[in-house]
Amino acid sequence: MAKIVQVPARAVVAYGVRPAARFLLRLGVSPNAVTVAGTVGVLVGSYFGALGHLFWGTVIVTACALTDALDGTMARMRGGTSKFGALLDSSMDRIADGAVFGAVVFYMANQGNPYGGTVAALISLVAGQVVSYVKARAQSLGMDADVGIAERLERLLIIGAGGLLGSAGLQWGLPAALWVLVVLSVVTVFQRLVHAARSEPTPLPGPAGAPPAGLAEPKEPSG
């Protein structure tokens, strides 16, 4: 039986944005500038969505969310991502995710919470943050958690599909997408935890009475 290989949406999009990445680099545009511009665009799209303009909000957010693959592709073409670039990208992602789901919560609440959409949006917001945190924390501890059925781009595409259904007059469309997102986000959290546990290196024995090397509880960074 042939093995089914999961191809993340990010990889597909990154392949498609290579011409745009080359063009921007020729113009002297930096990956960091694209990261910030994409986040500003998501904020604008989220504002439209919160006011009930689901179609334009979805189009703007989805288009700007693609910069998450564009800036990474540009950085790789320039020879690699800098530490500050990685930090900036992660920080802007958290701001953008908060804006998108905050706008959805606001819109769903104003619509009277149809099909429990407000609750689903809140759960999706929290679960999405946990998905990202598990990966970042695992990497900081020397483990691998770079897996998952619903990474950030997939989550945004799912909520975008729901926004388009809602803009077409289907009241159930956005809440349905949100509940699907809840399930996939929770599954992704467990996928990453399991993968990280399996990737943990075997600790080396330390002196008698001391904890094994690498297992001392790390201090949580502030913020």
pLDDT surpasses 60 at 18 = yes
Q: Average of pLDDT values for 47-75? A: 90
DSSP string, the chain: -PPP----HHHHHHHHTHHHHHHHHHTT--HHHHHHHHHHHHHHHHHHHHTT-HHHHHHHHHHHHTHHHHHHHHHHHTTS--HHHHHHHHHHHHHHHHHHHHHHHHHHHHTT-GGGHHHHHHHHHHHHHHHHHHHHHHHHTT------SS-HHHHHHHHHHHHHHHHTT-TTHHHHHHHHHHHHHHHHHHHHHHHHHHHPPPPPP-STTSPPTT-SPPPPPP-
Q: What share of the chain has pLDDT > 70, as a percent? A: 84
Q: How confident is the model at residue 91 (pLDDT cuts 50, 70, 90)?
A: very high
Give residue 163's pLDDT.
94
Q: Is the pLDDT of residue 86 over 50?
A: yes
Give yes or no for residue 12 having a pLDDT over 90. Answer: no
Q: Which of 128, 137, 151, 152 is nearest to 200 (CA)?
A: 137
- Does the pLDDT at position 181 exceed 90? yes
In this prediction, residues 90-101 reach a mean pLDDT of 93
pLDDT at 222: 44
Domains along the chain with CATH numbers: 9-199 (1.20.120.1760)
Q: Which residues are catalytic?
A: 93
Is 3 a residue whose pLDDT tops 60? no
Q: Give pTM, 2 decimals.
A: 0.80
Q: What is the pLDDT of residues 124-179, one digit of tens each?
A: 999 999 999 999 999 989 999 999 898 888 898 999 999 999 999 999 999 999 99
pLDDT of residue 110: 94
